[in-house]
């Protein structure tokens, strides 16, 4: 009795095999169709995976990086006082993590940027130009001048520069709130302009040297973000 199912399966296999070769054209057409469908699915999945990687790099390459470390309260309430002490030590610590290819500390503040009689609000970001260029492509969107060649340089979006009526070589004054609540002041020379094509960035962001930012806003060695780039963005959890 135990041989019954086995014999039935063997019979089905023989019948199926004979049926395949009874109409060879139909068999070959079916096989080719299945093979072509598998090929299309494989190519499509590969293209999709490559597109996802490109989207990730486009989304993270300009400013955000693959991961960030910040004060727990800073995301919901980005005030100067919510910072990370000992930014240099934190940067070195994360730079030594396996899989991390670039780390950049940043100090940030919303401030009033003035040139002559014109003033506009902007996000002022203090960066280490060498470290930041390794994980952000903002410096590649250079429209005029140079990317932060000196400690007191400023790198300004073209739309913000137009609103302020400034160009490369002009001087700007940044006024904001220091860590202890006093007035923060920073004077910088515009050494470069950038144009990303994203209006929200070009009209409201400027970068200055990290040390100048820390001194002007009385931050000491503190920063607001440690931005991280890894070898594989999908590995970040």
Measuring CA to CA, how many Å separate 196 from each of 13, 24, 42, 45?
A: 64, 60, 35, 31
How large is the angle between the packed helices 24-61 and 3-22, nearest 10 degrees? 90
- CA–CA dist 237, 222 (Å, integer): 25
CA 169 – CA 188 distance, rounded (Å)? 10
Phi-psi region of 57 (alpha: psi -120 to 50; beta: other; left: phi over 0): alpha
Percent of the residues in the chain that have a pLDDT greater than 70, as a whole number: 90
Q: How confident is the model at residue 199 (pLDDT cuts 50, 70, 90)?
A: very high
Query: Angle at Cα 159 formed by Cα 154 and Cα 161, nearest 5°?
Result: 40
pLDDT of residue 54: 64
Which tokens in the block code for residue 214? Answer: 């820390």
The CA distance from 124 to 210, in Å, is 10
User: Cα–Cα–Cα angle for 140, 145, 148, nearest 5°?
Assistant: 70
The pLDDT mean for the chain works out to: 89
Q: What would the two tokens of residue 159 be? A: 């739309």
Q: How confident is the model at residue 85 (pLDDT cuts 50, 70, 90)?
A: very high
**Positive/negative CA dihedral, 163, 168, 170, 176:** positive
Report the pLDDT value the prediction gives residue 24, as an integer from 0 to 100: 78
Instruction: Quick: pLDDT tens for 25-63.
Output: 877 888 888 888 888 888 877 776 666 666 666 667 778
Look up the pTM and report it: 0.78
Structure tokens at 170: 């002009």
Q: pLDDT tens digits for 206-229?
A: 999 999 999 999 999 999 999 999
Structural contact between residues 162 and 118, judged by C-beta atoms closer than 8 angstroms = no
- Domain residue ranges in the chain: 3-59, 64-235
Contact between 224 and 82 under an 8 Å Cβ cutoff? The reply is: yes
Mean pLDDT score, 139-145? 96
């Amino acid at each position: 009795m135990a041989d019954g199912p086995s014999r039935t399966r063997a019979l089905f296999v023989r019948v199926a095999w004979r049926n395949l070769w009874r109409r060879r054209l139909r068999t070959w057409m079916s096989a080719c169709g299945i093979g072509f469908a598998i090929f299309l699915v494989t190519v499509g999945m590969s293209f999709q995976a490559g597109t996802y990687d490109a989207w990730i790099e486009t989304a993270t390459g300009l400013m955000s990086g693959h991961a960030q470390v910040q004060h727990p309260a800073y995301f919901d309430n980005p005030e100067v006082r919510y910072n990370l002490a000992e930014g240099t030590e934190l940067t070195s610590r994360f730079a030594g993590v396996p899989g991390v290819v670039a780390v950049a500390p940043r100090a940030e503040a919303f401030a009033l940027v003035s040139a002559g009689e014109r003033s506009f609000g902007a996000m002022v970001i203090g960066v280490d130009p060498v470290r930041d260029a390794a994980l952000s492509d903002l410096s590649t969107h250079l429209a005029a001048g140079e990317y932060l060649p000196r400690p007191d340089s400023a790198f300004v979006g073209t739309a913000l520069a137009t609103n302020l009526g400034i160009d490369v070589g002009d001087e700007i004054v940044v006024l904001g709130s220091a860590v202890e609540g006093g007035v923060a002041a920073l004077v910088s020379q515009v050494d470069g302009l950038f144009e990303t094509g994203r209006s929200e960035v070009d009209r409201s962001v400027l970068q200055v040297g990290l040390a100048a930012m820390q001194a002007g806003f009385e931050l000491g060695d503190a920063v607001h973000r440690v931005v991280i780039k890894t070898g594989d963005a999908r590995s970040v959890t």
